[in-house]
Each structure stands twice: as structure tokens, then as C-alpha cells.
Structure 1
Amino acid sequence: MTHHLFLTEEHEMLRDQLRRFVAEKVQPHADQWEVDGAVPRDVLREMGALGFLGIRYPEEYGGAAMDTRATAVLAEELGRSTYAGFAITVLVHTDMASVHLFNAGNEAQKAAHMPGIVSGDTITAVGVTEPDAGSDVKGIRTTARRDGDDFILNGAKMFITNGVHANLYCVAAKTDAQGPASQSVTMFLVEKDTPGFTVSRALDKHGWRSSDTAELSFDNCRIPAENILGQEGRGFYAIMKNFQNERIVLGAMAMGEAQAALDLTLDYVKTRKAFGAPLWDKQAIRQRLSMLAARVAAARQFVYATAARDANGEEVTREVSMIKALCGELVNEVMYDCLQFHGGFGYMREATIERMTRDARVQAIGGGATEVMLEEVAKRL
């Protein structure tokens, strides 16, 4: 299905390349990644070599200098793979973590790290969420205390995607313990082997099983002041700004997942016989799948229209919040019915739809819970 309204030939070429890569290099092997709890680093380096990790970054770092629409294509096609754990491993690196360095980093920081980020030699994670602060970023309690030319970090981060295997972390901490979060959160670059920084545990998740997720701990972790990303005290705004991109990405990924689920369920109900005829012959099933297909098509167009507006530099906070709420809920509705129409087989671990249903659940939680998103929309209505 083409989106010629919003996309150029270059975007469609990117889609074809991604689809081929997923079919050849991901789908035959990703069941093992689900068991292993991580995507192999050589697969990520291969994606880097093909240019998939630097779609939005400038050519000087090895990137393709494309726009928000290209990001939506990437996210949708990775979602279509049916392995959302693989998809989120890549998308956190390309569009949720490394963007902090690219948007706020100085020339020296970018020269040091961006080429490795684009090649897949350096995998990134972003440390904002804490045991007591998720969608409520202002609740973070990790501190960074100035000590001469260094800062000393103390605290914990929770549910950090790529947290186990990343090389470079963009970490939010309060540099002024008394100040309001909007003026006291600072982003820092922390490298994997920094003393005082540990991955305290790998987390065992309901879905996204091929994505490594960790709890991180900072115990008097000393990092040089030159590792500040952007300005001291301006981290809250950087996090809020990056949420815009992140939520378009999650919306596009969710619609890729939903479309793949509809496609495979369509195949299933056309061949599975019940009461002497294929399930497709049951009007209730045909019509339900038709309505879901219509809603996914509509939501997908909303994602691409918003990505195009974002690429034009328009203010789309309201639309992005709508997308995150709408797509996060819709993908779960699609999965529920698709699993239902697979009958008992859909409940078996060997069924693709069973994994996809588990994977989709977090789409209504991560990157801004539906309820939080709806409040963002309400403020702007």
C-alpha cells in the first residue's frame, strides 16, 4: 500500500530495502533472539552498514539526512516484522536515545560518538524512567552533584531498553536537588564501563522478549563535566522535545504491527474451516476484520500526515499525543480480535499472533501511557 500523498520515491525505496532486510535477516532468526533476550550486535552493525541506523543524521556521520517521514517508514516496517522486541531495540537506538546526543551534543561529543552510532558499533540507551517516575518525568530523583571538574551521579533507572548491552547512555539527573524539575534536570553522557555505574539487573518482561531491558544503578558514579549534554538544567525540555519524535515512532511501529496481525489473521480465517466452511464465510468475522482494517488505514494516514507536518517544522504536539493514545489502544484491540479469530491455536506459544499480542500490550504504556497522552490532548483542545 503506497502513501504517495505524503511520501516520495526515496521513502518508498527505503521501505523496499527495509522489507527485504526484515524478510532475509530478521524473520528467519528472531525466534532465537526471543529466547536469548537480545538482538545480536552483528545484526545491528549490518543495519548500520546498510544505512538504517542513520536515516535522519547528516552525511558527515555516515547518515542519509532524511526526514520524519523516513523515520515513520522505518518504524512501520520494523513493526511489520512481527518481532516488536527487535523493532524497539533498533528504534530506541535511532530515535529515542541517540537523538539526545545529536540534538544537544557539542561538536566534540558528536564527532566522538555519532559515527559509531550510525555504524552500529555504539548502541545507545536513554535513562530517564525510574522506579518511582515514569510518564511523570518531573518525579525523577537521580542526582548529579558537582565536584570540581566532575559530577557525581547517584540513583537508579528502571525499564531501560537496550540497558543491558548498550555502550553509551544518555542519563537524566537532577543537578539542583531543591529546584523545580523543569529547571534542574540535566542530561549526561555515561559510558558503559564508568566506575560506579552498573546494570543492576536484566528485567524479565511480558513481551518484547528479544529486547534487553535493565535496571541501572549509579553509586557515586563520577563523570567529567564535559559529559553534560546541552546546557545544565535544561534536560527536562530536551526530554519533552524528544517525546514528539518518540511518539510518532511508536505510533508508526504500532500500525505496522497491527497491519501484520490483520494480514496473517486474514490468511488464517480464509483457510481454517469451521462448521463446514472457512471462517471467512462468517459475516461477523469478515465485518469485524474489515472495520479494524479501516481504522488501521485511517490511523496510519494520520501518522504519515503528522510526520509530514513535523518534517515541515510545524507544531504537532497535540497530534502526536493523539497518535500515541490512538495507536497504542488500537493495536491492542486488533491483537485481541486477531487472537480470538485464531481460536485455541492463537493461545499457543507457537502462534505468531500469541507473541504479537504480548508485544503490543506495552504500546499503551511505554513512551507515555494512554491516560497521560489524553491529558496532553485535553490541554490543547
Structure 2
Amino acid sequence: MTTLISVTVQSDWVEVISDVLRGTVASESFWVSCYRKGSASVHGSVQVKKSLVESHSVELTGKDGIVVEKITNYSFYVSCEKLAIMKTIIKGTKATFKTHNSAIKSMDISPGGGLFVTGDNEGLLKVGDTSDGSVRRELKGHVADITTCRFFPSGQVVLSGASDFQLRIWSALDGSNPVTLKGHNKGVTDSAIIDRGRNVLSSARDGTVRLWECGSASIIRTIGNYTCAVNKISLGLFPSESIIERKPDNEIDSREEEAFTTKSYRNVPLHSCAYSPKHNLVAVGSAEGVIEVFDIRNINRDLFAIQRNDSTIYDLVFIEETGDLLIGQGRWFCIPNSDRFDEQYFPSVTRIYRF
């Protein structure tokens, strides 16, 4: 199993650089720590000074075992020779919006990119504008933490699920809630929207995945009846029509057909999964921080396994164009393939969304 490196940076480092650029202080520093499982960690710092050569620019200097190479004012590479860490990219956020008074547990971006929806641990959802963070609608109805929220393909309708056992369908335009889906007897953990949205899937801690017909708010089928929670579902087309017979557009076959099954060899709970039809890959992430990648054409053993530390893998997303795998584990990594690992740092990542 390959062990990944980890680089963490002082949470307000962007503000430190901004202070120097504005001239609030002549120089300032922020800390950087590097980790590799099984090795002693390295804790250094980066000194920030205003550039004497370029206007509105800073100079960055690494100290105490940390080497930095500036890319822009708000992005740079970190290297650490002691841990064999080479040019790990660090990027600052482009914008930060404060929309909730409690922790955000789920979010999504509309297909057109103009809207976001966020759900917090008090059951409140908010729909806002991605350009400035302004909130357009508050969606009230859930009475427990929001575990999943997604835009329908139209970008005008939102699906949400929560620990109150329910899923709700909302209008992002006026905030109305015309449909509530009831049937799970434990908290909802995830959801998926099929095609244009006539049907949706949900998973829950009751060990089931349910297929719903949205118009009638009815359960078409309950898939699986496991003795443990279903923490995550990933929806995608099979690459070969020979595996399962293809149905006409918009027609859902309610039969349950298990094309293949496998399990992690680590014997620990799985908290995330992702499927890439183009590359025939399935990835799963465990409670102990291990990511395993399988080829669905030979599912009997994993292609490779990787680990950064023992923290839970909260989310996985494949980028179909490249086969890259994004991993949410309190930090964000980009894994193009089994022999090249690039890391990008963002604080507190529990779910990943593609713009």
C-alpha cells in the first residue's frame, strides 16, 4: 500500500499575505507542517515580505526544513527534503462566503454554475448566488442535520435528505416543497438523481437503497436489506450494454440485478465510493483512511490501495476526462494514477463538488 504525504498550512495564511500586500505590516510569517506516516513530522514557517522588484507582489521564504516556490501571491509550492516531499501545490481560496450559523454538512452547485445550495446540521438549506454568496432562498422543513442536497438537471429544483428519515424536493425559485419522500426508518445518508429527475435514489442508515418515483412520492423498489448502514451511493452507466440490458430513455427497470459485488479487504466500514464508467474504475474510502481502487472488469482484487493517515475518507470523485480521483479527507488530494500522487491543500474537506 502506498502512503501519501500531507502538508498543512496555517488556516489564515491568505490573510497574512493580504496584510503584507496592503502594507499593514512590513513582514509576517505563517506555519507549514509536513507529514509522512511512519516518519517524524517537520514543522517550519514561511516568511512573507513585500517584493522590492514587482509592484503589488510578495516574496516568500521557507524556514526550518521547508522550501517554498511562489507561483502567484496566493499559491505556491512546498518541498521538504527530509520527508521526500517535492513541490506540493498550496492554493488559497478565490472567495469565502458565510451563509450559515452552524456547520455546513452538504452542498451542491447547479449545472449552470450560477447557484449553490447548502445544508447545515440544524436542518436548514439555503440557495445562493455563486458570484457573490448572496442567499436567495431559505428552505425550511427538515428537523435534523442535512446529509445530502443536490440540484436536479434543470437547476431550478433541489433534492435534500436528512437524519430525520426524509427526503424533500424543493423549488429553488420560490422555496416551495411540493414533494416529501417518506419510507426510510433511519437517517438518510446520500442521494442520486436519475437522468432528468423523474426518479431518484436514496441510501440510509437502515441498510437500504430506495428507488423513488418523484411525481407520486412512492417507492418503486427497495434495493438491498443490509445489516449495516449504507453510507454512500454512486450512480453511473455501465460501459458495456452486455452487462445489463439497456432500457429506452426515461424508462426505469425496477428489477434488482447485481452485476458484480466485492468488498474491501481491510475489514473496516466504508464511508465513500465513486464510479468512473469511462475508465471502468470503482474507488472506495474507509473509516481508517484507506482508498482502494478496483477495475470492474476484474473485481476480485484491488488495483492499488493508498493511505495518508488514519482519518476517515469522507468523499471521492472521479474526473471522467482524465481519470483523476479527488479525495476529501479533511484535506484535498488529486490522484491521477497509481504511480503519481499530487496533493492540493484545502482546509476541512468533507465533500467534493465539481464546477
Give the TM-score normalised by the residue count of structure 2: 0.24
Larger helix share, 1 or 2:
1
Structure exhibiting the larger radius of gyration computed from Cα positions: 2
TM-score w.r.t. structure 1 length?
0.23
| Structure ranking higher on relative contact order (CA contacts 8 Å, 6+ apart) | 1
Q: Which has the higher strand share?
A: 2
